[in-house]
Amino acid sequence: ALAGKTAIITGSNSGIGLGIAEVLVREGAHVILNSFTDREEDHALAAKIADGQPGSAEYRQADMSDGDACRALVDGVAKDRGTVDILINNAGIQHVAAIEEFPQDSWNRIIAINMNSAYHTTARAVPVMRENGWGRIINVASVHGLRASPFKSAYVAAKHGVVGMSKVVALETAEDPITCNAICPGYVLTPLVEAQIPDTMEKYGMDRDTVVREVMLQRQPSREFATTEQIGGTAAFLCSDAAAQITGTTISVDGGWSAM
């Protein structure tokens, strides 16, 4: 359904971004994978996810903590492919500390990568989408764009900011065939999260199921992780014709967390 569409997904050599990329390639899109590294394995990953799929993929290095690099990523794709149809702002990092101890450099990096990068890429993508007469902007926010948790001040601030910016961009593009929305995942089973399970099992002396249900997913009413595949499916839905009038809103994929 996305044949002929070019999609940029920031921060997509692992986790949710990679999961979204796999779904979009399956739907026929040309996907640009991105991270700040430029390793052989990054490029190999693009080849791997496109193998045998209707779509295609390539990898482009750009550091999302650098505004000019964000802009150059979008400009480069627009120049090389003549279009940027889908922009998925997904790159993100986390740091956990009490507000009075929160390191300034961690604060600034989180705001830069999790929020400012979406401003820079969107600023460059909107004119291209207008010119080409179609566009989908999807910001991977978080349940922390809607709710708070202690010790996550920078992350919660950045994610609330991204949700707010999504609404403004939706209004500014409301009369164009462009939509802008935020996906708000709860806890998603990524390799990073998976890796925490054995340590947590040991720390609490619990089996895997109990750790997942009682410790990790304590605030997620479904007591199940969302999957990267499900976030990818949500992104694909937002790219579909059925979602053409969905703009300026959030879609929670959080097992009921934000209902509380």
- What is the Cα–Cα distance from 36 to 57, expressed in whole angstroms? 17
- Minimum distance from CB of 28 to ligand NAD (Å)? 23
Q: Which one, 130 or 257, has the nearer CB to ligand NAD?
A: 257
Catalytic residue among 59, 119, 155, 187: 155
Q: Answer yes or no: are the C-beta atoms of 19 and 232 closer than 8 Å.
A: yes
Task: Label residue 53 exposed, middle or buried (CB < 10 Å: 0-12, 13-18, 19+).
Answer: middle
The residue range among 23-31, 59-67, 166-174, 207-215 that interacts with ligand NAD, by the rule CB under 6 A, is: 59-67
Q: Answer yes or no: are the C-beta atoms of 77 and 57 closer than 8 Å.
A: no
Sign of the torsion formed by the C-alpha atoms of 15, 207, 184 and 161 = negative
Q: Under the criterion CB under 6 A, does residue 220 sit at the interface with ligand NAD? A: no
155 is catalytic: yes
Q: Under the criterion CB under 6 A, does residue 148 sit at the interface with ligand NAD? A: no
Q: Answer yes or no: are the C-beta atoms of 33 and 5 closer than 8 Å.
A: no
- The pattern of x and - marking residues 6 through 35 that bind ligand NAD according to CB under 6 A reads -----xxxxxxx-----------------x
* Residues 193-212 close enough to bind ligand NAD by CB under 6 A: 193
By CB under 6 A, name the one of 20, 188, 217, 239 that touches ligand NAD: 188
Single-letter amino acid, residue 196: Q
Query: In terms of DSSP bridges, do strands 86-89 and 135-140 run parallel, antiparallel, or are they unpaired?
Result: parallel
Q: Under the criterion CB under 6 A, does residue 36 sit at the interface with ligand NAD? A: yes
Q: Which one, 56 or 94, has the nearer CB to ligand NAD?
A: 94
Q: Under the criterion CB under 6 A, does residue 173 sit at the interface with ligand NAD? A: no
The residue range among 41-49, 185-193, 207-215, 240-248 that interacts with ligand NAD, by the rule CB under 6 A, is: 185-193
Q: Under the criterion CB under 6 A, does residue 161 sit at the interface with ligand NAD? A: no
Ranges assigned E (strand) in the chain: 6-9, 30-35, 56-61, 86-89, 135-140, 178-185, 188-189, 226-227, 250-253
Q: Tell me which H or E stretch contains 130.
A: helix 117-132
* Residues 79-108 close enough to bind ligand NAD by CB under 6 A: 90-93
**Where does this chain bind ligand NAD (CB under 6 A)?**
11-17, 35-36, 63-65, 90-93, 113-114, 140, 142, 185, 187-188, 190, 192-193
Active site residues: 155
